[in-house]
Amino acid sequence: MVSKDRGLLYIIWIITGVLLYRFVPKNKIRHVIVVMFFKQFITWFLGLWVVEKGLIKYPVRFMKKSNKSSFTFEYFIYPSFCAIFNLNYPEKRNKVIQFFYYLFHVGLITGGEVLAERYTNLVKYVKWKWYYSFVSLGVTNYVSRRFYKWFYKNEFEESETGG
């Protein structure tokens, strides 16, 4: 029988997959792959670092024997939400709207993590606070946004000039 927490992991995978299907147009799948790989590169390093330093624990996770970080969070949820964040970024809106867009996305993931920490065994804060996650997610989303714009700079330049 599947534990409550492991069942929740399966549900999270399904929901995240549905969100990707809903918010990623077919002609942008290539963009999603680039953003997800870049975000996975960042979260691989940071995720392992916080776990190895004993700041966070992931008692229930997939691939327990591979490493101590959460494959689900570090390699699927965060990168997927980051891809959705980048593809739907309000590029042509004012800075206030863009700022609140960042806050919304970072707050959504941080809020989900806080709920998971409080009510499940998917993540446990040892020497960690929710605002560390908020800041690190904000920074990594910003870095991934810069990378995404750099990687697809020709497409961004064409859309700005109307070409």
pLDDT digits (tens, 9 = 90+) for 100-149: 999 999 999 999 999 999 999 999 999 999 999 999 999 999 999 999 99
Tell the residue number behind the tokens 């549905």, with chain if given: 18
**8 Å CB contact between 105 and 85:** yes
pLDDT tens for residues 48-96?
999 999 999 999 988 888 888 999 999 999 999 999 999 999 999 999 9
pLDDT tens for residues 28-38?
999 999 999 99
What residues contact 6, with CB distance under 8 A and at least 6 apart?
Answer: 60
pLDDT tens for residues 9-22?
999 999 999 999 99
Residue 79 has a CB neighbour count (10 Å cut-off) of: 25
- Characterize 109-146 residue by residue with b for buried, 16 or more Cβ atoms within 10 angstroms of its Cβ, and e for exposed: bbebbbebbeebbbbebeebeeeebbebbbebbeebbe
Q: Which of 24-28, 38-42, 125-129, 156-160 shows the lowest mean pLDDT across its residues?
A: 156-160
Give the C-alpha separation, 101 to 129, whole Å.
22
What residues contact 101, with CB distance under 8 A and at least 6 apart?
Answer: 85, 89, 90, 93
Answer whether 0.85 is exceeded by the pTM: yes
